[in-house]
Structure 1
Amino acid sequence: MTESKVLSSLTLANGVTLPNRLMLAPMCDIGSTPDGQVTQEQVDYLRARAGIGGLIVTGYAFVQPNGSSIPGQLGDSKDSDIDGLRKLATAMKSRGNKAILQICHGGREAAGAAQQGLRVVAPTKMTFPWINYPVEEITTDEITTLISDFGKATQRAIDAGFDGIEIHNCNHDLLQQFFSAYSNHRTDEWGGSLEKRAAFPLAVLKEVRRVIAAANKPDFILGWRISPEEIHGENVGYVVDDMLKETKLVLAEGIDYLNISLTGTQYRFDSKPAGHDQTFAQLFKAITPDTVPVFIGSQVHTPEDAEAALADADGVYLARAALIDPEFTDKLKAGKAEEIVTTMSKDRLNNVQLPKALAYGYTMPHGLQEQIPLPGLTD
């Protein structure tokens, strides 16, 4: 496996070359303080996984306090966050790979903010049956401020020594909520047609690009993560053909890589959307310039899975595999793929440098093991 495509180099759109095609997937480790400050547990967790891939990506960091989706989520909303973020970036870069800070706003999903009594916002004020806290419509002034705050969060990432940022336009966060026809019923410049529903994500992208250019950081990496569809039974926010259109608009502005989030057990790296005979990766590769690598993942547990994922994509992210075995890539490089651990046990859960809250979340009834199961971990 040491001569595999997985371990071959990969060049991003801005010319930065990565030593391999693997990525530590962005995963919320729920290890931060209540206000989003970095803890030593998080530093240790990411240092232990700093060798996983050419790109090491944090879990989503909120750019405003009212964008916090879950207690323990990482924050990048104030200048006092920078010192902790610097420690995190240093740990992530300790193996020579690129440290990426993912930035986001939870919008209606900001349950963590709701618990703190903060105002939770969405594109449109409406009833969301699964939400038990008030959700208000974001105002035009708040939109303008939020766009600026994405830029400020990017500057903090630069100041903290990160090699890049990834914009979280997926998994039902506020950017996706604006694009979704289900959650965006606005009639101003931020809603209506597909192009208007894409206006807020694009405005965030433009502001982030402006900040990077002003900092004179041509090597600073700008990634973009998407959910390729939003379909929940009869509830359809958008289909893959809609997201392909938005992604073309994004590519016209300029990104350095595209990261396709296939979250949940219903997806695999080679899944195909309904009505299409190509995989998600194939569909997005077809519209993406060769200079912009496309990353895919989901159900990648072994080196063989990673190789198979690269049949349609340029890079592959490791999520649960990296939680189970932080030495996944080191063993692969050493020609010891057979030593990679692919199943979790209760004993191992507490011995692979996971933040305590994350490990505990996998032992709770109806917890993470039910939502995002680790192979081999049983009650």
Structure 2
Amino acid sequence: MNLNQPLVLRSGVTLKNRLIMAPMTVVLSFHDGIVTQEEIQHYGMRSKGLGAVITGTANVTDNGKGWPGELTIATDDAIARLTELSAAIHAGGAKAILQIFHAGRMTSEKTIGEQPVSASSVAAEVPGSEIPRELSENEIEALIEAFGQATRRAIAAGFDGVEIHGANMYLLHQFFSPHSNRRTDHWGGSLEKRMNFPLAVIDRVAQEVAKTSRPFAIGYRLSPVEATVPGIRFEDTLAFVEQLKTKPLDYLHISLKHFTRRANSQAYQEKSELAYIHEAVAGVMPVIGVGGVRTKEDVEALLENADAAAIAQQLLVDPEFPLKVTGEITDDPVSKPFGEAIKDLPMPHPMFKYLEKRYK
């Protein structure tokens, strides 16, 4: 697939090429989640040469905040500065997509000022995790509505779409997972019932999008497998994909540490998880792959099993990487190993400190 080929989404939103900035946490927002000037600059300088920029997580409610410095879209007060953020992305020539989420049990009382909530009262198997409170039926309905209101605000703020974050152990993932969801009501129990909350969120977001007269995309991000026992198995995800194919989604974004990763099921070892999911989606919607993209060759290899390539850490250390990949800049896309490139950075925000520690 030609990476410079435009990608026309179901909604009518058109990406100029197949390169996308992956959603990454940069902890640059104010304490209340309002966009800072540093955040606007961060996204603006990385929007050139891309088809779209997907922002880091924006919480849809105050108790959905995962960490300090996180974006919020929980109130109308956030719209003004989010409008400036979308404008900065557009100025670079990319479409602007806001990722919306709720952290669920992947937060702390210190962060949100109250006990975290989840599908069930089961702590994550992560050091320091707190036992969450199980959400009531009314609270679940209120959260579904919160995703709808977040979408309304994203539309008002000039974004071209929202990405519903159903991956990486956050709330929608928690409802789908048999580890975090031990319910026996409409929202849990069987595999099919564990799908009900994320599917309801998609439906509510779609209702809000239907009210606007301009093209506006809906994406969904998922993690294909889970290491815990019990946990999400690849067969569960393939069943979920069949349900997602019935929804008015513009794309499916597969969250992976590396785009070549194999599944946790012995029945699916001949190809990567991304390849199996792309095959299962069967062209109903575009599939975005991510994970370990450092060179143009990586982009081309990823696009053998996906319709678009999301770039994460490489964009942090080299904001001009997309321009090099598309040929607008003729320099070698990777002049140094990733770890060495990090050492040359001025470390303008905490994400770089994390990367420096990881790759030193």
Partners of 1:114 and 1:120 within 8 A in 2: no
Residue in 2 aligned with 1:49? Answer: 46
- Match runs of 1:67-146 below 5 Å: 67-111=64-108, 114-128=110-124, 130-146=127-143
1:59 to 49, 56, 61: 56
| Of 135-144 and 202-211, the range deviating more from structure 2 | 135-144
Residue in 1 aligned with 2:10? Answer: 13
Residue in 2 aligned with 1:303? Answer: 296
Q: Residue 152 and residue 305 in structure 1: after superposition, are their counterparts in 2 closer, same or farther (change >3 A)?
A: same
Residue in 1 aligned with 2:261? Answer: 271
Structure 1 residue 195 corresponds to structure 2 residue 195: no
Residue 204 of structure 1 aligns to a residue whose secondary structure is helix
- Aligned equivalents of 1:313 and 1:187: distance in 2? 36
Structure 1 residue 246 corresponds to structure 2 residue 236: no
Query: What is the deviation of 1:53?
Result: 1.7
- Match runs of 1:173-322 below 5 Å: 173-217=170-214, 219-232=215-228, 235-263=229-257, 268-273=258-263, 274-275=265-266, 276=268, 277-322=270-315
Aligned length: 353
Query: What is the deviation of 1:358?
Result: 2.6
Structure 2 unaligned segments of length 5 or more: list them. none
**CA displacement, residues 22-55 of structure 1 (integer Å, 9 cap, x when unaligned):** 1100001111111111111110000010114201
Partners of 2:290 and 2:311 within 8 A in 1: yes
Residue in 2 aligned with 1:366? Answer: none
- Aligned equivalents of 1:346 and 1:336: distance in 2? 22
The residue identity in structure 1 corresponding to 2:89 is: M
- Aligned equivalents of 2:123 and 2:203: distance in 1? 31
The residue identity in structure 2 corresponding to 1:326 is: P
The residue identity in structure 2 corresponding to 1:334 is: E
Query: What is the deviation of 1:175?
Result: 0.3
- Aligned equivalents of 2:144 and 2:287: distance in 1? 25
Query: What is the deviation of 1:110?
Result: 1.8
Partners of 1:325 and 1:341 within 8 A in 2: no
- Aligned equivalents of 1:330 and 1:75: distance in 2? 30
- Aligned equivalents of 1:240 and 1:134: distance in 2? 27
Q: Residue 281 and residue 360 in structure 1: after superposition, are their counterparts in 2 closer, same or farther (change >3 A)?
A: closer
Partners of 1:327 and 1:340 within 8 A in 2: no
Partners of 1:157 and 1:165 within 8 A in 2: yes
Query: What is the deviation of 1:355?
Result: 4.7
Structure 1 unaligned segments of length 5 or more: list them. 364-368
Alignment TM-score, normalising by the size of structure 2? 0.93
Alignment TM-score, normalising by the size of structure 1? 0.88
Residue 208 of structure 2 aligns to a residue whose secondary structure is helix
Q: Residue 134 and residue 10 in structure 1: after superposition, are their counterparts in 2 closer, same or farther (change >3 A)?
A: same
Partners of 2:33 and 2:70 within 8 A in 1: yes
Query: What is the deviation of 1:56?
Result: 0.4
